[in-house]
Amino acid sequence: MASPIDIKVWGEYACFTRPEFKVERVSYPVITPSAARGILEAIYWKPQFRYCIQSIGILKQGTQFALLRNEIKSRQSETPNSKSVEEYYVVAEEDRAQRTSLVLQNVCYRIIARIELRNGETNIGKHLDCFRRRAERGECYHRPYLGCREFAADFEASTYADEPDDTLNLSIGTMLFDTAYIKNSEWYHEHPEDRLEFWRHDGREPEEVKGYTKRLFFNAEVKDGWLNVPQEKYDELKQLEAGDGTA
Query: What's the pLDDT tens digit per position in 101-117?
Result: 999 999 999 999 999 99
Neighbours of 149 (CB within 10 A): 10
The 10s digit of each residue's pLDDT in 37-63 is 999 999 999 989 999 999 999 999 999
Instruction: Give the domains, in start order, of the chain with CATH numbers.
Output: 5-74+92-242 (3.30.70.2660)
Cα-based distances in Å from 9 to 35, 186, 237, 238: 12, 41, 25, 27
Beta bridge partners of 179: 215
The answer to whether the Cα torsion of 169, 170, 171, 173 is positive or negative is negative
Q: How many CA atoms lie within 13 Å of 212's alpha carbon, on the beta-carbon side?
A: 17
Low-confidence ranges of the chain (pLDDT < 70): 1-3, 75-88, 203-204, 243-247
Q: How far apart are CA 44 and CA 134, in angstroms?
A: 7
